[in-house]
Amino acid sequence: MAMAHIPTIVELEAILAEPSEQLIAEMASLEGDILVLGVGGKMGPSLAKLAVNALRRASARNRVIGVSRFSNEETRRDLEAAGVETISCNLLDDQQLQQLPDARNIIYMAGNKFGTTGNEDFTWAMNAYLPGRVAEKYRNSRIVVFSSGNVYPFSPPGLGGVSESYAPEPKGEYAQSCLGRERIFEYFSKQYSMPMVIFRLNYAIDLRYGVLLEIAKSVMNERPIRLEMGHANVIWQGDANEMALRCLSHCESPPRTINITGPETMSVRWAAAEMGKRLGKEPILEGTESDTALLSNAAQSFQLFGYPRVSLLQMIDWVAEWVRAGGYTLNKPTHFQERKGKF
């Protein structure tokens, strides 16, 4: 991961889908196929391709199947070219859901975040109703359930983030619905002795979206950066996806909760200054840091999986160069500066 910069999306996708030796070893002993529900989102395509590459390197014959509405046919073609089998499905349509194939291993990535405000009913249907239908369908599988660090209370930066032992305290309907997803899966895990991991993630990034991209674009375009949410956690998407796949070996009933993020409590002020150095611009900062922020402590994940392969400074280097070169970006803001839970 020592590249000075990543010049193209093709090379970015290749890096995101490059498995570690540890992942290859674990995939070699994995029993059954992997079904990725909600594969069409920001992280799903690279996770599915990472799984295929790890299984191939392990000389394993497990299938990787990606399920999505596939409103973007290019995503589907790209996945199939990489060796991922695809199924188009509206998961909220119970008839379509029941027709999906069985699989021993489920990566549950389906959910709704962006546009929650004004569309609360759909958010709750996706995030809290659908999990029950999926759990009934896949009661004989192990499931890694993508969730969010947004379920936690804000905490002082000096605490080093909130660990899994803290009680959830979700702010706003999106975070509340995420906790609803967790509780529904937890209920069915206990009912059917289904092994699970609750995968509490914040914030994954690559070069096309994420906290660092938003800071870099603000610096580059000389827009103010609000400091009220003065600290954040970030992790490279490839590292987060790798940990999700490795969580298949750590599923338990009742579910095991694992925080996934980077090791640093990153100062937004500091990150803006670092971007400014690389982009030749002086950051415009607005407001002052609050006493608390949304922060997670991921020490348990590092004990299980080791530290992320891509460091914070490496991410900053890559994102700054991507923005300088005018690289393609997704229009999917993280809203990491949101303090009232309105997404």
In sequence order, the β-bridge partners of residue 267 are: 231
Burial of residue 98 (number of CB atoms within 10 Å: 0-12, 13-18, 19+)? exposed
pLDDT, residue 231, reads: 98
What band does 317 get if pLDDT is binned at 50, 70 and 90?
Answer: very high
1 has pLDDT over 70: no
Mean pLDDT throughout 302-322?
A: 98
123 has pLDDT over 70: yes
pLDDT, residue 5, reads: 87
Rounded to whole angstroms, the Cα distance separating 39 from 76 reads 9
Helix (H, G, I), strand (E, B) or coil at 147: strand
pTM (2 decimals)?
0.96
pLDDT tens track for 282-306: 999 999 999 999 999 999 999 999 9
Cα torsion angle, 175, 177, 180, 184, sign: negative
Residue 135: count of CB within 10 angstroms of its CB? 24
Mean pLDDT throughout 185-208?
A: 97
261 has pLDDT over 60: yes
